[in-house]
Amino acid sequence: MAGQTLPAPISPGQPLTALAPMQDVTNLSFMRVVAHYGAPDYFFTEFFRVHSQSTPERHILRSIDENDTHRPVFAQLIGENLSDLERTVRELLRHPIAGIDLNLGCPAPKVYKKNVGGGLLRDPARVDEILACLRAASPGLFTVKMRLGFDSPESFEAILELVNRHDVDLLSVHGRLVKQMYRGNVRYDLIARAVERVRCPVLANGEIASAEKARAVIAQTKAAGVMIGRHAIRNPWIFRQVRELCAGGVVAPLPLSEARDYVERLYEALTDPEIPEKLQVARIKKFLNFVGQSVDPEGLFLREMRRALTKAELFAVCDRHMLAEPDKPYSLEPYPGVVARPNCEDGCGLGT
Ligand SMILES: Cc1cc2nc3c(=O)[nH]c(=O)nc-3n(C[C@H](O)[C@H](O)[C@H](O)COP(=O)(O)O)c2cc1C
């Protein structure tokens, strides 16, 4: 049924905030860490793969069933077969989800070649059928996360029209094409176009690196709020900072020592006793790739962190760079030229 109200935000009257769905990142542990520093209004799971043999992945279901962040979580699906999608929605409705979200943006070639995720943006007629199916199957909220198009924004207006036709309740727009992967300019002007065109609230997504940037993007696009992904890995305080800034407050950088505490909390949260330390360290390094963008303008932390093989080596690097001058600021925006390693070739994972 369309027209359901969205879950109440943390600060009514302030822009909405959401943690972007990220495969291998937005699991229960990471959601808890982010909630500790200042939860977003909404969480989205990483995508459930939907195909003829699929059942909802247990590790993703955990982020719904054991969600103790006190914030709602939407379940994201990626797929294109109508009966499989319908079956999966029925299965997910047995869990405490805030709603169903459809992925129309994943740029991984192995995904879009199967005509799912971002691949569907080449076929508005198929999107029409899928939206009709999911709308009918979802008694509660039904939301969509999309990019501007596949290799051009040619189908953008047509898809926005479908969003209206099928009474989508919330639309997140990553302002890039599928072919751009995670690089290149974000077209906030086209996000503004989506805001003009659709009846539901829109979340602007793509390179929202700070609360200041969120405020500027909201002013430019008139979006209802922002969805933030990689910059929330670097700065888990960002959702709280957006609320504070938009309420007229001032956002000052935190000291490096607080970022060091974040790394420790993250390490503990992501620790799995069944996983050997070496793999554990490799996993946290994927997150530190983003953290390192705010530690020092020369990128020395990043370079040394990448060489660490044990937990002791890793935290020795953290201590050298984050505790030697603990009051030094942890930059609100990434330092120019200090880049997180590109995502792995499929574009969806966090490359090492
Ligand atoms: C590691 C990683 C995994 C991602 N996984 C998903 C996903 O499962 N579903 C999805 O809709 N988008 C996924 N995305 C895209 C993000 O949700 C978001 O749209 C994109 O990163 C742009 O936002 P940002 O600049 O704030 O990171 C992923 C992005 C990254 C970096």
DSSP per-residue string spanning 116-159: -GGGGGG-HHHHHHHHHHHHHH-SSEEEEEEEEESSSGGGHHHH
* Residue of 17, 22, 185 best suited for mutating to test ligand 1, as the one with most atoms within 8 Å of CB: 22
- Taking the CA atoms of the chain, what radius of gyration do you get in angstroms? 20
In whole angstroms, give the CA distance from residue 290 to residue 160: 32
**Domain spanning 16-246: CATH 3.20.20.70:** yes
In whole angstroms, give the CA distance from residue 332 to residue 234: 9
* Residue of 234, 348, 350, 352 best suited for mutating to test ligand 1, as the one with most atoms within 8 Å of CB: 348
pLDDT band at 129 (very low <50, low <70, confident <90, very high): very high
Q: How far is the CA of 348 from the centre of ligand 1 (A)?
A: 7
Ligand 1 binding pocket (C-beta < 6 A) is 20-23, 25, 46-47, 76, 103, 105-106, 145, 174, 205-208, 228-231, 343, 348-350
Mean pLDDT of the chain: 95
In whole angstroms, give the CA distance from residue 313 to residue 276: 15
Please give the pLDDT value at position 3: 60
In whole angstroms, give the CA distance from residue 245 to residue 65: 32
Average pLDDT over residues 87-91: 98
In whole angstroms, give the CA distance from residue 53 to residue 51: 6
Which residue's entry shows tokens 């390490």?
Answer: 267
Q: Whose CA is nearest to atom 23 of ligand 1?
A: 206
Between helix 256-270 and helix 277-291 the angle, nearest 10°, is 140
Q: Whose CA is nearest to atom 29 of ligand 1?
A: 22
Average pLDDT over residues 167-188: 97
Q: Whose CA is nearest to atom 15 of ligand 1?
A: 22
Q: How far is the CA of 288 from the centre of ligand 1 (A)?
A: 17
Residue 153 pLDDT > 70: yes
Task: Characterize the bridge pairing of strands 329-330 and 254-255.
Answer: antiparallel
Q: How far is the CA of 334 from the centre of ligand 1 (A)?
A: 18
pLDDT band at 342 (very low <50, low <70, confident <90, very high): low
Residue 186 pLDDT > 90: yes
pLDDT digits (tens, 9 = 90+) for 193-216: 999 999 999 999 999 999 999 999
Catalytic annotation present for 106:
yes
Q: Whose CA is nearest to atom 14 of ligand 1?
A: 22
In whole angstroms, give the CA distance from residue 126 to residue 234: 37
In whole angstroms, give the CA distance from residue 78 to residue 55: 12
Neighbours of 278 (CB within 10 A): 11
Q: How far is the CA of 133 from the centre of ligand 1 (A)?
A: 25
Residue 351 pLDDT > 50: no
Q: Whose CA is nearest to atom 10 of ligand 1?
A: 21
Task: Characterize the bridge pairing of strands 254-255 and 225-228.
Answer: unpaired
At 221, list the tokens. 């696009």
Q: Whose CA is nearest to atom 30 of ligand 1?
A: 22
Query: Whole-structure pTM over 0.75, yes or no?
Result: yes
Ligand 1, residue 105: give the atom nearest the CA. Answer: 11
Label residue 86 exposed, middle or buried (CB < 10 Å: 0-12, 13-18, 19+).
middle
Please give the pLDDT value at position 340: 84
Q: One of 106, 246, 318, 348 is an active-site residue; which one?
A: 106
For residue 153, the one-letter residue type is P
Q: How far is the CA of 59 from the centre of ligand 1 (A)?
A: 18
Q: Residues of the chain with pLDDT > 70: what percent?
A: 96
